[in-house]
Amino acid sequence: MLFYPEKADVPERLTTDEVVVRPLRSTDAEADYDALMSSREMLRVWDQSDWPSDEFTLEENRADLAEHESDHASRRAFTYTVTDPAEERCLGCVYIYPLEPILKSVGESEGELADVGDFEAYVTFWVRESELAGGLERRLLAGLIDWFDREWAFGRVAFGTNSADARQISVLGEMGFETKWRYPVPGRATDYVICAREQGAG
């Protein structure tokens, strides 16, 4: 399966009154690390893992960001940081991956993959914990939906989370997403939840 059309431009930026969404770079390591570590308990629920651990270091984060930056440059996957309008404070992150490998990794069979075609994306995102009460997560999602509809060349964009993150599942539901795939998280009493919506819905 093809991830993104070879001749299509990869959007560089989404700008709203509240945020800037732009490619994540290794030079963002300190700001990103501050956001990660201030939100680590929330992120462990969101990721259904022990990441980031209390011992996670800035240098480990810098290495992770360098890998994301390399993937972005080669168009294997796209990762964006979410910042304030001045691009000084990290407010979250957006990850865009090919949908088919994600479905295979959680156990979807070849037959069940029949309706997955070229140029389909799997997206996850998080917002800094301190910004959740003010509703930034929902407003960011609304901006991302519009951005994908207007500027990206994907045929379908599915958003992923997990059943332990009831808040994010609720936000996705409010924006017109319905669960399409659901699989157990290995070693956890929770499920991966992958949601899709009709293009232009909502």
How does pLDDT run across 58-72, given as a tens digit for each residue? 999 999 999 999 999
- pLDDT at res. 162: 94
Q: Extract the residue ranges of the chain whose pLDDT is less than 70.
A: 198-202
The mean predicted confidence, pLDDT, of the chain is 94
- pLDDT at res. 202: 45
The backbone torsions φ and ψ at residue 104, rounded to the nearest 5 degrees and listed phi first, read -65, -40
DSSP conformation class of 34: H
**Cβ-based neighbours of 19, under 8 Å, separated by 6 or more:** 82, 83, 84, 85, 91, 136, 140, 143
The overall pTM is greater than 0.85: yes
- Both tokens of 78, joined, read 């796209």
- pLDDT at res. 111: 81
- With beta carbons less than 8 A apart as the criterion, state whether 102 and 5 touch: no
- pLDDT at res. 190: 94
All domains in the chain, ordered by first residue: 14-196 (3.40.630.30)
